[in-house]
Copies of this chain bind each other. A is one copy, B any other.
Amino acid sequence: MLRVDSIDQLIVSQLVADARSSYAEIGKVVRLSAPAVKRRVDRLLDRGILRGFTAVVDAEALGWGTEAFVEVHCRGNISPGQIRQRLEPLAEVVAAYTVSGAADAIVHLRAADIHHLEDALERLRAVDIIDRTVSTVVLSTLLERSPAPEPHDTAH
């Protein structure tokens, strides 16, 4: 796996800021011709560093006004794959992670309103491998952003 140089990082930043900007526009920032930028973007996609391009939607405007984080505690020893398989069919699950600590997983839920959230929680708790859940309702979003292209080393 080859290096991602500083120009690649700048290209990624540009695309994170606006996935629809043209290669020429990116080229102006990184001082490269449009075809050169395209070749680098294609390579970043090939290598999986860029996974794709997506639209950022206002969940609230689309009617998903309520969200919650749910600690999930499972019965016995369950594999991550088993949890994933049971969570995937629930449309309200927007993210899920296995975690260290007391809980087995953290599930990020999105619902239309509190009633819909309650309904989603009920269906989540009905999953056979799930023992109990602890939910935390989100009151407001303070911040949401992509990580910088390179973690700047602060420790040295």
Copies in the complex: 2
Q: What interface size band does chain A fall in?
A: 35 or more
In the complex, are the beta carbons of B47 and A61 less than 8 A apart? yes
> With a CB–CB cut-off of 8 A, which chain B residues contact A120?
154
CA–CA, A84 to B90, complex, Å?
A: 31
Contact A57 B49 (CB under 8 A): yes
CA of A18 to CA of B20, assembled, Å: 10
- Given contacts A20-B20, A94-B144, A136-B106, whether A54 and B57 have CB atoms under 8 Å apart is no
User: Can you sample 12 A-B contacts with CB below 8 Å?
Assistant: A15-B54, A17-B54, A48-B58, A51-B56, A52-B55, A52-B56, A53-B55, A57-B146, A62-B149, A84-B142, A92-B147, A100-B139
